[in-house]
Every structure is written in structure tokens, then in C-alpha cells.
Amino acid sequence: MTQLTIPQSPHEHPEHLAHHFESLQQQYDSGKLGIWLFLTTEILMFSGLFCGYAVLRSLHPEIFLYAHRYLSVELGALNTVVLIFSSFTMAWGVRAAQLGQTKLLVRLLTITLVCAFVFLGVKFVEYKNKWEENLLPGKFYHPEEPPPGGEFLKLRGTDSQSVKNDKPADVKPQVTAGAVGERSTIAPAAIGPTGLSEPWLEGKHHGRQSWSGPEPDNVQLFFGIYFAMTGLHGVHVIGGMIVIAWLIGKARKGVFGPDHFAPVDFVGLYWHLVDLVWIFLFPLLYLIS
């Protein structure tokens, strides 16, 4: 870090030193503490949702076990890889800024931004699919197909623990197999094996009830949590993208160097948090079984 010379007149001071700080070191340290505190608040905000997830999953494990199969693990994994890679390019970008490697910095920030676009694109594909399949939260939940390995027509088995609710039927019950029905008394058509192992179907490896196929009540709760968590995360990705775009603009003017790289550093920290949140979301939502 370059040393600060005592200013002779009010405006003789390092270019990037704000007036109320005594030295660049103090300014940098303050910014660092500030961004870490901000990240703490973000963690606390997301942890509210994670707590909600934990409570709902412990109250209704069957909903999560059933509904997560609607999600595409491949697309989720792709997004995970893309975000981790973008964190790598971001971190390298911070290093480039510290060393004054402006061209490299601009390239790395651009790659990070592109990765973020890819992430959003994949999310858009996923969301579009959910929209088309009516796999939406709350009262908008009207799937036409069961998830892979699941079945629709419910026959209350002896091991079922779901509570009968008074929700009025949104859709008229239909007779054909595979269609959505509410409390249908028609026996399900013969459906092939789910592909799940016998012990799993008998719930042996959980020690408590596991869901072996028929749709449980209140599946829309899963999608409520899914959209709340991935939606909030997506909003943070967009916010990060705006700031990274701003950084690219500044970087192209050659503003960053060994004496002034703090903005890149701090945005990098934020981006790593965004990545970290996704790394938790992915297994919790996609990899349940």
C-alpha cells in the first residue's frame, strides 16, 4: 500500500481518499469491515428462509421428498458449476486489480458477468418450465403431470400421515389415470414400478415414513419455498450483475490499481456470498433424495 503524505492544502491528497478518512489504510479497513457486516446481514436474511425450510421440511417431509423430483438436477448442477466458476474469475479479477493488470481485470469481470447471465438464463428456462407445468406456489398450483417416479391419484394408505384438509377442489376429478383428482375413490390404474428400492419404499433407511409415490397434500408449499429462496437469490444475482457492470465501466478507464482496488475486492466478497448461498440452496432443493 502506498504511504499517505500529510496533505499541505485541503485538496492535496491521494485521489481516492475520502475527506473524512485520515489515510488510505483507514479507508480500506473501514470498507472491509463494512462489507463484511453487510454480508452478515445478508446471511441473516437468507437464514430466515432456511429456518422456514427446516421447519416446513420437518413438519412435512413427504412434500419435499415428492415435489423436488419436479426439479431438474442437471440444470441445477450446471448452475452450480457456472456460479463456482464465476467466483473463481471474480477472485482472479481482484488479484488482477491489485497488480494493476487492467486488461486482464476487464476480461475476468466480463467473464463473471457472462456467467451470471448464463445462470439467469438457466433459471429462466427452469422457471418457464414451472410456469408451463403450473408448478407454482399457493393457489396457482395445478400440475398436469406427476413428477418422475410419482403418481397422482391418492389412495389413503395406512402409513399415510397427511391430514385431510378442507381445501375445495380446484379441478374437477377426472376418471382417466394419471390425471389430477381430489379424494378420488377410483382405484389407480396399474402403474409400473417407481424404480425405487424396496427398503426405501418401506421407509427403512429413514426410520420414519418416506413417500413412495402418491401425491401428498399441499405440494404447493414446496414451490412456495422454492420460488421464495431461488427468487430472492436471483434478485441478489441481478444486483451483483449491476454492480459488476459498473466495475467493468470503471476498470476500463484504468481506475483500479495497487493503491485502489477496494471496490473490486468488496464486490468480489459479495459475489462469493451469492455463490455460497446457491451452494446451500442446490442440495437442499434439488438433491433431497
Q: Which residues bind other proteins (CB under 8 A)?
A: 18-21, 26, 29-30, 33-34, 37-38, 40-42, 44-49, 51-52, 55-56, 59-60, 63, 136-140, 165-167, 217-218, 220-221, 224-225, 228, 232
CA distance linking residue 248 with residue 89, whole number of Å: 13
Name which of 33 and 81 has its Cβ closer to other proteins. 33
Q: How far is the CB of 20 from other proteins (least distance, A)?
A: 4
Q: How far is the CB of 266 from other proteins (least distance, A)?
A: 12
Please answer whether residues 63 and 216 qualify as being in contact, where contact means their C-beta atoms are separated by less than 8 angstroms.
yes
Q: How far is the CB of 54 from other proteins (least distance, A)?
A: 11
Residue type, 223: F
**Per-position DSSP letters for 205-262, written without gaps between them:** TTSS----SB--TTTHHHHHHHHHHHHHHHHHHHHHHHHHHHHHHHHHTT--BTTB-H
Name which of 223 and 286 has its Cβ closer to other proteins. 223
Q: How far is the CB of 173 from other proteins (least distance, A)?
A: 20
Q: How far is the CB of 50 from other proteins (least distance, A)?
A: 10
CA distance linking residue 111 with residue 86, whole number of Å: 7
Name which of 51 and 189 has its Cβ closer to other proteins. 51
Name which of 210 and 218 has its Cβ closer to other proteins. 218
Collapsing DSSP to helix, strand or coil, 289 comes out as coil
Calculate Rg over the CA atoms of the chain.
25
Name which of 61 and 268 has its Cβ closer to other proteins. 61
